[in-house]
Structure 1
Amino acid sequence: MPPSLPSVSGVLLIGSVPLPSTSEVFNKLTSTLPQRLASLPDGEPGSRQDFILWERSRFPPETLKYTNGGINLPDGHSGVFTQDDVSPTDYGAAAVESWRFFCEYRERGVIPTGVRFQVSLPLPWAVIAGHVRPEFHAMMEPLYTRRMEDAVRIILDNIPAGDLAIQLDLAREMLALEYERGRLGEEFRPHFAGVEGILEGVLHRIQRFASLIPEDVDLGLHFCYGDRDHRHYVEPEDLGVAVGFANANRERLRRRIAWMHLPVPKDRADKGYFEPLRKLILGVGTLAETKLYLGLVHANDEEGTRRRIEAALSTVRGFGVATECGLGRTPTNELDSILSISREVSAPV
């Protein structure tokens, strides 16, 4: 690694990778990112490639957004739904299946000992907000939350804690905070805004979900601005909202957080964007310090990536690198560029 980048080590893969199978993901990532990975996702292949889209069928069609294939309540329907109306999620089964591949590849020496198996999960509320009509959010949330909690238990029952990392994908939550700042429309207003307040409501939900995860499991937090047609729903003004949210989670969770990931748009190599990092809290008391990853790697832009790294290093002493978000919808021909740049600008962990 060039001597000009002494404080940059390690690479984080957010979750999805544009390859057709878990086997190809494991082979590709371990061969192109040697000694760079503390955890390894399965790439979320097949129906899981498009983030939460695969969860749409869990909900009654009468509750779905009309743009998602929703239908009206039939005549005489009470409008009340119960636990049986929300199908079990397959997040748990998918993780267990990929874990078996992970063990096989580790035994063969493809995956180094010490690298954890990474599972990325959204909060239940985020899935509901993405798929369900607003008038059903409050009703669906406890029902779907139970399904997601069941999935977490399946994961924990089948994968040893010391081999596991769970990342919480916090995109809808970031957008809710930007809604509160007046930067997004009513589509992003949480149903709990008037009862709990947006920040408190979001933190409460993260705390509840994180409380299921034992301390021996690495917990990561991925702060994201989401995208629609490869564009953010709203562009971050700087890292201020993300840093404030990260610090609020640090204070609320009171547990070891293995990593936090913050996004960096391609056109932000200015020091002002990174200035809020001076206030980021990565260590508290006796808890192990949290690893920071910055999502500043962009395809076919190694020079720009280095400029963004240089700007970031003016405000924080060190970090790992990543892309802004998962790669599931990234054109396959850009993957090699992203992996190559990630390797070239980082040192081994």
Structure 2
Amino acid sequence: MHDSPLAHLTLRGAHLVGSVNLPTARDTLRTVAARLGVHARRIPDGEVGERFHWILFQGARFEAVEGLSRVGDEPVVVAGFDVRPHVLDGSVPADGLRFGPLGYADAALASYADFAALRAEGAIAPGTRFQVGIPSPLAAVTTFVAPGDRAAVYPAYEAAVLRELDEILAAVPAADLAIQVELATDFAFVEGANLGGGAARAWFDRDAGGDEDVVLGCAQRAARVAAHVPEAVELGFHLCYGDVAEKHFVEPADTGHLVAMANALVAALPRPITWVHLPVPIDRDDVAYVAPLGDLALDPATELYLGVLHHEDGVEGATRRLAAAAQVLGERTVGVATECGFGRGPSERTAALLDLHVAVLERAA
């Protein structure tokens, strides 16, 4: 394609962020393998069941911790989940808090059994990895702990996340596994977005009385989770501006903060990063949005996935957004993705979105 605006950009690979609107993990694994084929190096289980709304199911895990109590007498229900925050109630010191199972390991082990069975049947190609998403601990702590107690509760929840990760690492062979650490609430702090109740501020943010740069503080906390992943296991990051009712909590001015976070993660980690995924809003097919990508400090071996796929404008829209990126990224290989997961979109959209990944890749071939 000599005259193509993508002539100097190599497109390779499709990445699924995590949530996919299909009934079961087995349905997701089988359908993705069939529709994306060799384009998908790794497949998630679709985040089915209680995980359908990302971290909202974690509220019940906070509620079960001795020493934490819900604020308010009446449930505040969002998508079927009580999202009232918790406070330290004084019955247990903060350093004595102990979370039980969070549900991530149980889900991963059940879905991996489906993955292994489908691979044995030949439905999943050899070499494909099973992808497990682990949200940054900041997300659940921010959602389910009142601001004044977040710093005190965070270490106990982070320890619980690491126990979940250890259980997954012990059960799934390293050669089969890919872990994705997901940063979304982190960007609400970076942007000072209003999530209800004023600008979001992290307790460690220098601008809110803390002693850390907010980007570095978020990156270093996410890196503590990511550093737990051994090098034989693939490691990726999903950088996100939220996806409530298919809208970001704030529209990024450009990719500057995404690039700053990616570079901070590179600097904070003692191990290679396998992939990074970041969003491209539907109305941003301009070079100004992607210009900061020129400052990415990723290793050339790190896969870069751009969330250029939107159901509203299909192949043509994705091509425009990729053409803008091509002007900045030059010879770099790039993969395609949607901005976020699509498990909460209409189910009739699922097959078409999966096929859109292939259509964009094949058009540029």
Q: TM-score, normalised by structure 1?
A: 0.90
Residue in structure 1 matched with residue 305 of structure 2 by the alignment: 293
Q: 1:125 to 1:336 in 2, by over 3 A?
A: same
Q: CA deviation at 1:115?
A: 0.6
Q: 1:214 to 1:85 in 2, by over 3 A?
A: closer
Q: CA deviation at 1:158?
A: 0.4
For CA contacts below 8 A with separation 6 or more, give which structure has more relative contact order: 1
Partners of 2:2 and 2:47 lie apart in 1 by: 33
Residue in structure 2 matched with residue 201 of structure 1 by the alignment: 217
Q: Deviations over 1:163-204 (max 9, x none)?
A: 110000011112211129x99974521122213342232122
SS in 2 for 1:35: helix
Partners of 2:44 and 2:102 lie apart in 1 by: 19
Q: CA deviation at 1:291?
A: 0.5
- Counterparts in 2 of 1:328-339, with a 5 A limit? 328-339=343-354
Asked whether the 8 Å contact 1:63–1:70 carries over to 2, the reply is no
Q: TM-score, normalised by structure 2?
A: 0.86
Q: Does 1:159 align with 2:172?
A: yes
Q: Does 1:306 align with 2:319?
A: yes
Q: 1:177 to 1:344 in 2, by over 3 A?
A: same
Q: 1:176 to 1:184 in 2, by over 3 A?
A: farther
Partners of 2:31 and 2:17 lie apart in 1 by: 15
Partners of 2:94 and 2:133 lie apart in 1 by: 28
Partners of 1:123 and 1:171 lie apart in 2 by: 8
Asked whether the 8 Å contact 1:99–1:159 carries over to 2, the reply is yes
Give 1:98's aligned amino acid: S
Structure 1 unaligned spans of 5+? none
Residue in structure 2 matched with residue 257 of structure 1 by the alignment: 273
Give 1:142's aligned amino acid: P
> Which one is further off, 20-29 or 64-73?
64-73
Structure 2 unaligned spans of 5+? 77-81
> Which one is further off, 220-229 or 85-94?
85-94
Partners of 2:202 and 2:337 lie apart in 1 by: 29
Q: Does 1:108 align with 2:124?
A: no
Give 1:52's aligned amino acid: I
Q: Does 1:22 align with 2:25?
A: yes
SS in 2 for 1:314: helix
Partners of 2:257 and 2:327 lie apart in 1 by: 19
Q: CA deviation at 1:82?
A: 6.2
> Which one is further off, 147-156 or 202-211?
202-211
Q: CA deviation at 1:237?
A: 0.5
Residue in structure 2 matched with residue 47 of structure 1 by the alignment: 50
Q: Deviations over 1:50-88 (max 9, x none)?
A: 1001111011385446544548879x9558456556332
Asked whether the 8 Å contact 1:60–1:85 carries over to 2, the reply is no
Identity of aligned residues (%): 37
